[in-house]
């Protein structure tokens, strides 16, 4: 019975996964560039959330400063492309590596600081980052805005199919997100993933069974920073700029955390779903308030309301799905499966 259920779940999962992938591959061929860019945004949001989930979900270290690592990725890519003539694709590993290194540098002092105190120290990162760029980045007209040439947003020559920049960005983000999703999956199933969870659940007990506390926590920090850095690098392909004010490192850090929690903390797919939802809900509420199908007299000119709707939706969502979308889905699945069980004849599960 359990074996059959698992096989059923695997088949259903594969079919659903392939269907979603097929839809995603088809999507940019049919949609307007603005919509494609929105979906690309949703994908790189999911990438950053996946990384934060490794740190917060699996390792229990709360960060509200990952917008800063996103910013590091975005500025690395934009500066290398604009000032040094790199191709955008080649900058992504550099952005990832730089974010990783800064992640290690932040992760080491974070070893001693725990819980809310750590959250507040990371908040400092997000708050300091825009000022740092203002002081050290010389972009358009001496401001901290770096704009990359529009030619750099086009796919490289060896790419077949004559893709538009928006389509290229979408496929690029999709490919990278799948690779990084695989990375999370491998980590979680492996030795390092079990170490992460052990440290989160009980530090003292984890050390007694031989987990290297410092190495595990710093590596978790650095890996999550790497994910955020990659997301930032991809954002340059979509927006064509790196700008700390536009990125809004503080808000972004909070939104990453929101994406992790509403998707499903410590689940493999949750953060991707959560990132998608955060981007889409915000977009939808903005559109709704700007052009409502009903209540139009009441809502006209009240665009400020959309964050309020988003905020209230967050609270409602947390009330009904405290363990996130994936957690809620799992509970639903379990309920369906257990309800079906009594219908089986007694002894059916005994192997012959």
Partner 1 sequence: MTVFLSQIMNGIQNGVIYASLGLAIVLIFRTTGILNFAQGEMALFSTYVTWELTRLGLPVWLAIIVSMILAFIGGALIERIVIRPFEQSSPLVLVIVTIGLFLAFNALAQLFFGVEAKALPRAYPDRNWLIGGVSLRSDTLVLIAVLAVECLLLWALLQRTKVGLALRAVASNADSARLLGVSAATMLMLGWGLAAALGCLAGALVVPTTSGLTAGSMQGILVFAFAGVALGGFDSPIGAVVGGLIIGIADALTRQYVPALAGIEIIVPFGLILVVLLLRPQGLFGHVKVERV
Query: Interface residues with partner 1 (CB under 8 A)?
Result: 56, 62, 109, 112-114, 116-117, 119-121, 123-125, 127-128, 131-132, 134-135, 202, 204-205, 250, 254, 257-258, 261-262, 265, 302, 304-308, 310-315, 318-319, 322
**Cα–Cα distances in Å, from 224 out to 106, 184, 215, 346?**
12, 10, 14, 48
Whole-number Å distance between alpha carbons of 134 and 125: 15
| Cα-to-chain-centroid distance, residue 138 | 29
Q: How far is the CB of 79 from partner 1 (least distance, A)?
A: 18
Q: How far is the CB of 233 from partner 1 (least distance, A)?
A: 24
Q: Rank residues 89 and 121 by Cβ distance to partner 1 and give the closer one.
A: 121
Q: Find the radius of gyration of the CA atoms of the chain.
A: 22
Q: How far is the CB of 236 from partner 1 (least distance, A)?
A: 23
**Cα–Cα distances in Å, from 175 out to 19, 77, 157, 172?**
16, 18, 18, 5
CA geometry: angle 215, 220, 225, nearest 5 deg: 130
Q: Rank residues 95 and 123 by Cβ distance to partner 1 and give the closer one.
A: 123
Whole-number Å distance between alpha carbons of 217 and 61: 8
Q: What's the chain's length in residues? A: 352
In order, the DSSP letters of 249-304 are HHHHHHHHHHHHHHH-TT-SSHHHHHHHHHHHHHHHHHHHHHS-SS-HHHHTT-TT
Q: Rank residues 236 and 258 by Cβ distance to partner 1 and give the closer one.
A: 258
Q: How far is the CB of 131 from partner 1 (least distance, A)?
A: 5
Q: How far is the CB of 221 from partner 1 (least distance, A)?
A: 14
Q: What is the DSSP secondary structure assignment for residue 345, as one 8-state letter?
A: P
| Cα-to-chain-centroid distance, residue 29 | 24
Q: How far is the CB of 55 from partner 1 (least distance, A)?
A: 12
Q: How far is the CB of 210 from partner 1 (least distance, A)?
A: 16
Q: Rank residues 101 and 305 by Cβ distance to partner 1 and give the closer one.
A: 305
Q: How far is the CB of 254 from partner 1 (least distance, A)?
A: 6
Q: Rank residues 145 and 254 by Cβ distance to partner 1 and give the closer one.
A: 254
Q: Is 346 helix (H, G, I), strand (E, B) or coil?
A: coil
Q: Rank residues 146 and 257 by Cβ distance to partner 1 and give the closer one.
A: 257
Q: Rank residues 24 and 318 by Cβ distance to partner 1 and give the closer one.
A: 318
CB-based contacts of 85: which residues, under 8 Å, 6+ apart? Answer: none
Whole-number Å distance between alpha carbons of 205 and 198: 8
Whole-number Å distance between alpha carbons of 244 and 74: 9
Q: Rank residues 155 and 264 by Cβ distance to partner 1 and give the closer one.
A: 264
Q: Rank residues 13 and 322 by Cβ distance to partner 1 and give the closer one.
A: 322
Query: Do 96 and 297 form a contact (C-beta atoms < 8 A)?
Result: no
Task: List the one residue out of 202, 175, 28, 185 whose CA is nearest residue 92.
Answer: 175
CB-based contacts of 299: which residues, under 8 Å, 6+ apart? Answer: 289, 292, 305
Q: How far is the CB of 159 from partner 1 (least distance, A)?
A: 40
Q: How far is the CB of 108 from partner 1 (least distance, A)?
A: 10
Q: Rank residues 80 and 125 by Cβ distance to partner 1 and give the closer one.
A: 125
């Amino acid at each position: 019975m359990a074996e059959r259920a698992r096989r059923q779940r695997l088949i259903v999962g594969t079919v659903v996964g392939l269907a979603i992938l097929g839809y995603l591959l088809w999507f940019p061929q049919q949609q307007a560039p603005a919509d494609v860019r929105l979906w690309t945004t949703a994908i790189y949001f999911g990438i950053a959330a996946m990384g934060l989930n490794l740190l917060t979900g699996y390792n229990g270290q709360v960060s509200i400063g990952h917008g800063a690592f996103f910013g590091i990725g975005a500025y690395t890519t934009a500066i290398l492309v604009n000032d040094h003539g790199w191709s955008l694709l080649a900058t992504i590993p550099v952005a990832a590596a730089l974010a990783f290194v800064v992640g290690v540098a932040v992760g080491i002092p974070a070893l001693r600081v725990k819980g809310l105190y750590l959250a507040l120290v990371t908040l400092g990162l997000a708050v300091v980052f825009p000022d740092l760029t203002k002081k050290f980045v010389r972009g358009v007209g001496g401001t901290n805005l770096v704009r990359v040439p529009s030619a750099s947003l086009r796919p490289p020559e060896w790419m077949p199919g004559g893709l538009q920049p928006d389509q290229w960005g979408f496929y690029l983000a999709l490919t990278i997100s799948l690779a990084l999703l695989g990375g999370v999956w491998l980590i979680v199933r492996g030795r390092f993933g079990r170490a992460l969870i052990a440290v989160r659940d009980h530090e003292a007990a984890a050390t007694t069974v031989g987990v290297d506390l410092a190495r595990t926590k710093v590596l978790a920090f650095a890996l999550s920073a790497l994910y955020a850095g990659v997301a930032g690098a991809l954002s340059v392909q979509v927006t064509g700029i790196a700008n700390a004010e536009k990125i809004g490192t503080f808000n972004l850090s909070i939104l990453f955390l929101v994406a992790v929690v509403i998707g499903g903390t410590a689940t493999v797919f949750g953060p991707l779903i959560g990132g998608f939802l955060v981007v889409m809900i915000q977009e939808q509420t903005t559109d709704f308030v700007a052009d409502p199908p009903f209540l139009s007299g009441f809502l006209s000119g009240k665009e400020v309301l959309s964050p309020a709707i988003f905020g209230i939706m967050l609270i409602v969502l947390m009330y009904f799905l405290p363990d996130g979308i994936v957690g809620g889905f799992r509970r639903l699945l379990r309920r369906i499966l257990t309800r079906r069980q009594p219908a089986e004849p007694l002894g059916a599960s005994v192997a012959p």
